[in-house]
Amino acid sequence: MKIIFMGTPEFAVPSLKALIAHHTVLAVLTQPDRPSGRGHKVAKSPVKQVAEESGIEVLQPETLKLSESREIRSYLKSLGADVFVVAAYGLILPKGILEMPPLGCINVHGSLLPKYRGASPIHAALLNGDTETGITIIHMESGIDTGDMINKKELDITDGEHFPSLLGRMADLGADALLDALDMLEKGTAPREKQDDSLSCYAPMIKKTDGLINWNLSTEAIINQTRALDPWPGCYTMYKGAPLKIWQAEKGDGANGTPGSAPGLPGFAPGLPGEVLAVDPLKGVLVKTGDAALWITELQGEGSKRLSAPDYLRGRKIEEGTVFSC
């Protein structure tokens, strides 16, 4: 099939590679190059890098709004693609583009729709402590991830899994699901399964401020936050007026919060949320949460690098009784 691909981040790369291997990719649309990293150097998107390495034309419009994209719309139409494939592109496709290819536009979405419509479905699954997620390929329409479903593939979330690992597995699964959906489209057998809107929830774009830990939350919720927001924006708390990033955490001794359940800490449950209950140079930092306590096992001070708690504590001191801000 002749395909125009639209995608930007790492999640979209396996899908693009699968299309290059099995179909004809006429052109790739991706977000404009933007500053990235500490040095704020202008960087190409992962999708652009793959497209250029494969000799595929890359287009990077700032917008696809009719008033500002007449030229690129005309060019896309002239390419004569059978279908447009979208995977985490980052721009909304107007009606005129959705209706352009004969077989329509399809989207590789990172959740089992109708659950987690929106920009950050993989983050949402981890934040909510889900044990299962998956990919849905949909016929695109004007609503956000509301289109009829073509294909679903499920995936288990492993215990304690963080975002980078899940993202990689989801991206690979997305490529497999996409090829199956395109095969059905080509044969004219692609289903149109309606979504149940009553079962939907929205996963908004992640913001930097989402990383601030609220110690009043449950131990499980905070651990899930560290899993979902690694590596960006990263979870953090305020310590001595500066952000202290928390990369890894696990349930504390006596995670049910009952008095006397943590050795050497009788009745720690009544402590203040965010209070440092213990500092173990071999284990980490035990902090009171809304319902129990958790061990911080990997952290990062301002201007430093990610360190295991034992390595961090060799050169820095965190005192028992300190209360991290919420």
Cα separations in angstroms, 12 against 66, 71, 83, 147, 211: 25, 25, 17, 19, 25
Are 265 and 198 part of one and the same domain? no
Write the burial class of residue 186 (CB in 10 Å: 0-12 exposed, 13-18 middle, 19+ buried).
Answer: middle
Are 47 and 97 part of one and the same domain? yes
Q: What is the mean pLDDT of residues 178-202?
A: 97
Kindly write down the DSSP assignment for every residue of 108-161, as one continuous string: EESSSTTSSEES-HHHHHHHTT-SEEEEEEEE--SSTT-SPEEEEEEEEPPTT-
Please, what's the b/e burial string for 141-167 (b: 16 or more CB within 10 A of its CB; e: otherwise)?
A: beeebbbebbbbbebebeeeebbeebb
Q: How many Å apart are CA 273 and CA 221, to the nearest integer? A: 13
- Are 98 and 70 spatial neighbours (Cβ–Cβ below 8 Å)? no
Domain that holds residue 52: 2-203
Residue 199 lies in a domain: yes
- The band of 270, judged by pLDDT with boundaries at 50, 70 and 90, is low
Which phi and psi angles does 53 have, rounded to 5°?
-65, -25
Are 228 and 101 part of one and the same domain? no
The C-alpha R_g of the chain, in whole angstroms, comes to 23
Residue 36's pLDDT is 77
Cα separations in angstroms, 258 against 213, 220, 285: 23, 16, 19
Are 101 and 198 part of one and the same domain? yes
Are 190 and 119 part of one and the same domain? yes
Are 102 and 172 part of one and the same domain? yes
Residue 321 lies in a domain: no
Residue 305 lies in a domain: yes
Q: Is the pLDDT of residue 259 over 50?
A: no
By mean pLDDT, which of 27-36, 148-157, 186-195, 241-250 is the weakest? Answer: 27-36
- Are 29 and 101 spatial neighbours (Cβ–Cβ below 8 Å)? no
- Residue that terminates a domain, selected from 175, 203, 231: 203
Residue 324 lies in a domain: no
Q: What is the CATH number of the domain that holds 212?
A: 3.10.25.10
Residue 223's pLDDT is 98
Q: Is the pLDDT of residue 269 over 60?
A: no
pLDDT in tens, 45-74: 999 999 999 999 999 999 998 777 889 999
Are 215 and 146 part of one and the same domain? no
- Helix (H) and strand (E) counts for the chain? 8, 17
Residue 152 lies in a domain: yes
Q: Is the pLDDT of residue 217 over 50?
A: yes
Calculate the average pLDDT of the chain. 93
Between the two ends of the chain, the Cα-to-Cα distance in Å is: 53
Are 92 and 126 part of one and the same domain? yes
Q: What is the CATH number of the domain that holds 79?
A: 3.40.50.170
Q: What is the mean pLDDT of residues 217-228?
A: 98
Are 42 and 160 part of one and the same domain? yes
Cα separations in angstroms, 57 against 51, 103, 110, 125, 216: 7, 22, 26, 35, 51
- Residues linked to residue 83 through DSSP beta bridges, in sequence order: 3
By mean pLDDT, which of 37-51, 156-170, 208-222 is the weakest? Answer: 37-51
Q: How many Å apart are CA 33 and CA 172, to the nearest integer? A: 24
Q: How many Å apart are CA 263 and CA 64, to the nearest integer? A: 61
